Structure 1
């Protein structure tokens, strides 16, 4: 089982048994959440990796995190999603609505791992922020997957999407907490549901389907935004597998990709802690791959 580099990071740990993995999958939590088939810029990160000691033959494939297309050839996710893999790991992005179902269908057809990954996603090259893991003040928990010309064409052939819009430098600070509290926030991703108690203890069911939920603004920190996802306040929220996925804020009618999901409370009941994309450190990394506003 892959362990996230940040305690409590909302990364999928291993998925369906049909794909030959040892652990169950760990969605946007179920309360006040809806499917998001229209948000085709939001995708899942799929990893093909090795568990038999022979990196020349990666034998496991699964979706592990969420993310967003921020240009026709750049997919944004979290650094803890692209690190700590066995040598030879390969990274794919899928913009399917039901990634878990697509992976299960490809596996049931008897395809080998590399063909399963290629059937469901498009392979790219992962770039992890070299400053990761940083510290609590700034974790530098940001990464991208880039695509060459042929891979970009394959993405466009399979899925129609408009890349998400990024915020300008220090936009959230300029807007201020009172304004951010009044604006609409939405979190999206492929993660699991909130913790449920059963005969075997607490589990996080579901995952692998793109969902969306309204969240509430709580606090703005130098590199983080803290968002409320309490059911009692009519909010939904993020859970395991939503790491790297988008948190949008709508400012004067414009939907902006303000931050990416990184961590939160373990049961996925209360808080989503997200990494700001308008700070100098985030922008310094992103400017290597995209033109920033």
Structure 2
């Protein structure tokens, strides 16, 4: 079981339909990483706990639907901290500062927002399925003028238990890269590093526990459109117009099997998110 990543199959969000879904870039002690997430209030960005736990300093968030299609665009468009010397290191002891993520300088340039990561205090770090709590937030320094996503009511997903779950479509959105055949070598589906764009797809429910919604993530499943994979971690799952979960984990390297969604309708998660939204100073596992 590994942190989840990039949508397989699915559709690019070229119309910017899911404008409140963004990508965050952050430093942890072992490198620079990216995840996905959702704006649930003007200053609160919902993501996965494994994208916020032990983050160093400030993180950076963008809501632009297209981040990079080439290696050159990736190097130019995705920010690095001032003390990160480049791809060979991809480490920082300070995290991002305002000077690292200046606003757009020209039409089409990306707009980045700084914020501070907070992690659910009961996050188990993938050790206890009964108390998974793989949810975090970024408290943005300034409000973002975009529509906000609505959290599902408490225990909303309980009504979709089996056998109904096997015919329930869940919409997933994120910035993970696509899975496709490699350009050379063995022609097997492989997660690719580029492009970095926002995608969406549908998935069919497979299993529901008090903490986790497990979904079928095979794009060849004729009941839905695909699944999540490397880079989609923290991205939203929607049903009925509500955010019902954040992408948590996957089972295989080619992202064509099962994926796990942390339920945000679980009261232990939802109540913490409401606290974060209310006072912007919620408790964190890092404290």
**Short-chain TM bin:** 0.7 to 0.9
1:190 aligned residue = 175
Residue 117 of structure 1: how far off its partner (Å) = 3.0
Residue 146 of structure 1: how far off its partner (Å) = 1.2
User: Measured at CA, do residues 193 and 47 of structure 1 come closer, stay the same or move farther in structure 2, by a change above 3 Å?
Assistant: same
Q: How high is the TM-score relative to the length of structure 2?
A: 0.75
Distance in 2, matches of 1:136 and 1:207, equals 33
Could you tell me whether the CA contact under 8 Å between 2:102 and 2:112 is conserved in 1? yes
Moved over 6 A (4+): none
- Aligned residue runs from structure 1 range 67-78, under 5 A: 67-78=37-48
The equivalent position to 2:161 in structure 1, one of 176, 186, 189, is 176
Query: How many residues are matched?
Result: 245
Deviations 1:258-279 (A, max 9, x none): 1111001222001111000111
Deviations 1:193-251 (A, max 9, x none): 2374543897421352000011111111110011112233233110100000011113x
Whose helix fraction is larger, Structure 1's or Structure 2's?
1
1:16 aligned residue = none
The question of 1:35 aligning with 2:12 is answered: yes
The question of 1:121 aligning with 2:112 is answered: yes
- Aligned residue runs from structure 1 range 95-134, under 5 A: 95-100=63-68, 105=73, 107-108=75-76, 113=81, 114=97, 115-119=99-103, 120-133=111-124
User: Measured at CA, do residues 256 and 104 of structure 1 come closer, stay the same or move farther in structure 2, by a change above 3 Å?
Assistant: farther
1:89 aligned residue = 57
Which shows bigger deviation, 183-192 or 74-83? 183-192
Residue 118 of structure 1: how far off its partner (Å) = 3.6
User: Measured at CA, do residues 122 and 248 of structure 1 come closer, stay the same or move farther in structure 2, by a change above 3 Å?
Assistant: same
Distance in 1, matches of 2:186 and 2:20, equals 37
Structure 1, unaligned stretches of length 5 or more? 1-6, 12-26, 52-59
The question of 1:285 aligning with 2:272 is answered: yes
Structure 2, unaligned stretches of length 5 or more? 82-96, 104-110, 279-287
2:245 aligned residue = 259
Q: Secondary structure at the match of 1:137?
A: helix
Q: Secondary structure at the match of 1:64?
A: strand
